[in-house]
């Protein structure tokens, strides 16, 4: 089977989806598929790219605001097109290519059909929905959700549309030795994500203002690329609350630097209003770091697996959950991190995820129905 994955960008600065698609392409190739990744490319903007291993995956970069994916895909002899993300001209390019070449189209929204996401820039999305997005969703023979809440949101918006539930994966090395954290002179609460209103970072900073006087040995570190100049507003809030010496805004983090970043963290927090998955949660757990995540994320298993905590998105709820986690001893947090590492190994390895997705591809190509993800 020759699978073509398409995406608007594989720039490192674009975060989770770009990393996920790189790793997914490699996993599909290791599972026996022939895989080509076709991505829009803007050399003036993109910077470092997250390219799959060229020994496993062919990567084609197509320039232009409305890239010509049809010309890129036509000579490949592809069997299926799997597009990623919404609300982009690259989606039009992928849908057009699939239609012109007579190929089945799958689409992974990556959370872009969830209620919070639909409300953000609502008018722009209503226009895009009328112009092209509704047609492309209708064209797709299958939508892929990464967690049950996202599958439910898709079903509510598009009743009757087939949906497959396939989580994102993560590389999970052996559990690192975190005994050095007990002797460290200070503690670090890490947040790693795009600096974007969806991530609720002002809510996290407001929670931190309540906690900082109680936990003088802890520092909040917020890392990630700025989007829409959100960093300026965040920096102003930090200064206004007098937290300049208790919060570090460190900017983007290169992929190669992530292991050291997680190794230096005692606790991870994802305070988002909405996440279809939250790949940084799995990355933190794989590194043995316990996690606090909000009810806007699909991570109920943090509590059930005793590897983290769930909180509301409001500052009071975040502060309460974080205080509970920060009062534990380093040994207690390490034990939670160990359980989180086991959870990732069990449920989020790339090999079974690739096999699950290849099964869905086969069903689409054979015209077979997809099992109901809510009752499978």
Note the pTM of the prediction, 2 decimals: 0.91
Q: What confidence tens digit (pLDDT) does each residue in 113-140 have?
A: 999 999 999 999 999 999 999 999 999 9
> What is the CATH code of the structural domain delimited by 180-347?
3.40.50.2000
Domain 2-169+349-366 has CATH 3.30.1490.270: no
Q: Which band of pLDDT confidence, cut at 50, 70 and 90, is reported for residue 376?
A: very low
Q: What confidence tens digit (pLDDT) does each residue in 66-88 have?
A: 999 999 999 999 999 999 999 99
By DSSP bridging, strand 105-108 and strand 57-62 are unpaired
Tell me, yes or no, if the two domains 2-169+349-366 and 180-347 fold the same way: yes
| Dihedral, 254, 260, 261, 266 alpha carbons, nearest 10 | 170
Can you give the pLDDT at residue 296? Answer: 95
Domain spans of the chain, in order of start: 2-169+349-366, 180-347
């Amino acid at each position: 089977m020759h699978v073509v994955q398409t995406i608007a960008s594989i720039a490192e600065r674009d975060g989770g989806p770009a990393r996920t698609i790189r790793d997914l392409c490699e996993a599909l190739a290791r599972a026996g598929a022939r895989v080509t990744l076709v991505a829009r490319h803007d050399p003036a903007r993109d910077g470092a790219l997250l390219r799959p291993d060229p020994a496993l995956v062919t990567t084609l970069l197509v320039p232009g605001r409305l890239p010509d994916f049809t010309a890129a895909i036509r000579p490949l002899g592809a069997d299926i097109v799997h597009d990623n993300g919404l609300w982009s001209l690259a989606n039009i390019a992928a849908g057009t290519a699939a239609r012109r070449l007579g190929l089945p189209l799958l689409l992974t929204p990556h959370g872009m059909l969830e209620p919070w996401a639909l409300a953000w820039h609502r008018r722009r999305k209503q226009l895009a929905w009328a112009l092209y997005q509704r047609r492309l969703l209708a064209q797709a023979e299958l939508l892929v959700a990464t967690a049950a809440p996202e599958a439910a949101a898709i079903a509510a918006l598009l009743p009757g549309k087939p949906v497959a539930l396939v989580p994102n994966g993560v590389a999970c090395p052996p559990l690192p030795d975190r005994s050095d954290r007990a002797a460290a002179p200070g503690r670090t609460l890490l947040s790693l994500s795009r600096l974007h209103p969806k991530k609720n970072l002002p809510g996290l900073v407001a929670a931190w203002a309540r906690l900082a006087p109680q936990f003088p040995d802890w520092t909040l570190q917020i890392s990630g690329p700025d989007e829409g100049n959100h960093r300026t507003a965040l920096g102003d809030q930090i200064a206004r609350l007098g937290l300049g010496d208790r919060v570090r805004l460190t900017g983007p983090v290169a992929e190669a630097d992530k292991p050291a970043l997680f190794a230096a963290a005692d606790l991870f927090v994802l305070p988002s209003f909405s996440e279809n998955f939250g790949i940084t949660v799995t990355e933190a757990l794989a590194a043995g770091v316990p996690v606090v995540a909000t009810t806007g994320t699909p991570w109920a298993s943090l509590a059930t697996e005793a590897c983290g905590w769930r909180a509301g998105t409001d500052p009071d709820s975040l502060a309460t959950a974080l205080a509970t986690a920060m009062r534990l001893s380093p040994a207690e947090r390490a034990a939670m991190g160990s359980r989180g590492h086991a959870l990732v190994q069990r449920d989020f390895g790339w090999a079974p995820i690739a096999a699950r997705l290849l099964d869905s591809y086969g069903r689409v190509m054979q015209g077979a129905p997809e099992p109901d993800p809510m009752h499978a």
